[in-house]
């Protein structure tokens, strides 16, 4: 039985506790110490990694409603690295708005400073172009640049021959560092990298796109992929596709972990009340109006038939739309269930109930080939997940007792 992997989302997963603290009259905006404390608790629980998401150019309204200021991931994770010793540290960084030399250097530096715990969540960004004097390029164009940026980063990381460590009067043997020349349609680079990246082979690569272009990219480069799947059948399909694509690239399909996002509400219930605007928001995502439908009746065929007419590939986040459609397509799904998935987890799998029922569902997904693990996002209390759910996974022999190795690659069991 394969082990289950857990990653916790550094920003989203602490929102519920911070919002609750603010409601009780505590600080309205989290301090840097809150981030450090959150990371320390995740490490105490033995979570594989902290995933620091980053959306450049967020709408102002999101700031007004949030009890924290999300810091820039690489700098925040450098501080967290100094206060932790085992947990993996996954920084989101954009290929659309960064040059490969900068990325290779920053991520390799984090990897060294953390003792081999760095990961890079490769994103093409869905907003924020104005900050860089750009218009946001079309998705295909962004993925084409992402491939070149990633190739160039990998070339920089591969440019240090392990021989650089051989003793040479105590200095680095610079003859063991190759020049890197890269010339593509999007990236040009001539230089050499001044930081090694071999603490764990190389930093671990993550990716979160689930469009056809996104999965193809992931199958080529990623060690682990984040997904949006509220339905088990949809997750099985996505993970199977990812593994097929990886095999077609000559990779071992087992070398790519699939980690859908999940919102866990231990000893709680999902909110199934239809809030104002919710029906319109979900209808807009799906591209079909949901007005006039009975909340508790199975979705009618005319709604399901609309799927084939909607272009989900060019949606800002294909996974959100495809995930909702996958759920809608499961026999008997009601509008209330569909709206609830969006309301409780923005389209991610949301589970509420006893720790036992949640642990069983998570293990069931892994056993059915729907996931290799999960990313814990803004559900209820992550501390309750640590206190109640992880021990059950351990008791089932499916979660390690302590960090067996020292690197992120060790924790995730990726080669």
Ligand X SMILES: Cc1cc2nc3c(=O)[nH]c(=O)nc-3n(C[C@H](O)[C@H](O)[C@H](O)COP(=O)(O)O)c2cc1C
Numbered residues of the known binding site for FMN: 54, 92, 143, 210-211
Helix (H, G, I), strand (E, B) or coil at 41: helix
Residue ranges in 341-380 that form contacts with ligand X under rule CB under 6 A = 375
CA 220 – CA 267 distance, rounded (Å): 40
E strand residue ranges, 19-114: 49-52, 88-94
Candidate residues 211, 231, 238, 333; the one interacting with ligand X per rule CB under 6 A: 211
CA 276 – CA 65 distance, rounded (Å): 17
For residue 194, the minimal CB distance to ligand X (Å) is: 28
- The phi and psi torsions of 209 (rounded to 5 degrees) equal -80, 145
Residue ranges in 148-207 that form contacts with ligand X under rule CB under 6 A = none
Residue ranges in 108-137 that form contacts with ligand X under rule CB under 6 A = 123-126
Rg of the chain taking only CA atoms, in angstroms: 22
Q: Which is nearer to ligand X, 213 or 393 (CB)?
A: 213
CA 278 – CA 282 distance, rounded (Å): 6
For residue 318, the minimal CB distance to ligand X (Å) is: 3
Candidate residues 182, 221, 226, 386; the one interacting with ligand X per rule CB under 6 A: 226
CB 319 within 8 A of CB 242: no
Candidate residues 106, 159, 318, 350; the one interacting with ligand X per rule CB under 6 A: 318
Task: Return the residue nearest ligand X (CB atom).
Answer: 214
CA 134 – CA 56 distance, rounded (Å): 13
Interaction between residue 208 and ligand X (CB under 6 A): yes
Angle at 224 between CA 310 and CA 89, to 5 degrees: 120
CA 102 – CA 105 distance, rounded (Å): 5
Q: Which is nearer to ligand X, 53 or 299 (CB)?
A: 53
Q: Which is nearer to ligand X, 113 or 129 (CB)?
A: 129
The window from 52-60, 101-109, 299-307, 330-338 that contacts ligand X (CB under 6 A) reads 52-60
Residues near ligand X, by CB under 6 A: 53-55, 92, 123-126, 208-211, 213-214, 226-228, 261, 317-319, 375
């Amino acid at each position: 039985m394969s082990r289950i992997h857990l990653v916790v989302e550094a920003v989203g997963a602490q929102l519920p506790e911070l919002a609750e603290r603010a409601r009780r009259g505590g600080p309205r905006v989290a301090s840097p110490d809150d981030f450090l404390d959150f990371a320390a608790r995740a490490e105490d629980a033995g979570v594989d990694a902290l995933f620091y998401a980053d959306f450049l150019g967020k709408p102002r309204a999101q700031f007004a409603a949030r009890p924290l200021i999300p810091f820039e991931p690489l700098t925040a994770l450098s501080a967290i690295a100094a206060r932790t010793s085992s947990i993996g540290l996954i920084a989101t960084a954009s290929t659309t708005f960064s040059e490969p030399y900068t990325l290779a250097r920053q991520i390799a530096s984090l990897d060294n400073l953390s003792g081999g715990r760095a990961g890079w969540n490769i994103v093409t960004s869905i907003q924020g172009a104005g900050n860089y004097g750009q218009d946001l390029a079309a998705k295909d164009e962004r993925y084409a640049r992402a491939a070149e940026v990633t190739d160039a980063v990998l070339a920089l990381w591969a440019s240090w021959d392990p021989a650089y460590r051989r003793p040479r009067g105590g200095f680095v043997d610079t003859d063991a560092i190759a020049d890197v020349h890269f010339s593509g349609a999007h990236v040009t680079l001539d230089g050499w990298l001044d930081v090694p990246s071999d603490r764990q082979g190389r930093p671990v690569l993550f990716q979160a796109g689930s469009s056809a272009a996104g999965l193809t990219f992931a199958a080529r480069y990623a060690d682990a992929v984040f997904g949006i799947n509220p339905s088990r059948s949809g997750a099985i399909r996505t993970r199977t596709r990812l593994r097929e694509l990886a095999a077609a690239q000559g990779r071992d399909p087992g070398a790519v972990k699939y980690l859908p996002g999940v919102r866990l509400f231990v000893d709680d219930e999902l909110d199934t009340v239809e809030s104002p605007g919710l029906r319109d928001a979900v209808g807009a995502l799906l591209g079909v109006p949901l007005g006039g439908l009975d909340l508790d009746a199975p979705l009618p065929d005319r709604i399901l038939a609309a799927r084939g007419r909607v272009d989900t590939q060019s949606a800002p986040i294909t996974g959100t739309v495809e995930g909702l459609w996958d759920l809608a397509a499961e026999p008997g799904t009601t509008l209330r269930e569909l709206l609830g998935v969006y309301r409780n987890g923005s389209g991610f799998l949301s589970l509420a109930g006893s720790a036992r029922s949640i642990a069983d569902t998570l293990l069931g997904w892994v056993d059915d080939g729907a996931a290799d693990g999960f990313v814990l996002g803004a559900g209820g209390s992550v501390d309750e997940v640590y206190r109640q759910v992880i021990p059950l996974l351990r008791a089932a022999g499916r979660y390690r007792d302590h960090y067996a190795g020292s690197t992120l690659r060790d924790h995730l069991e990726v080669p």
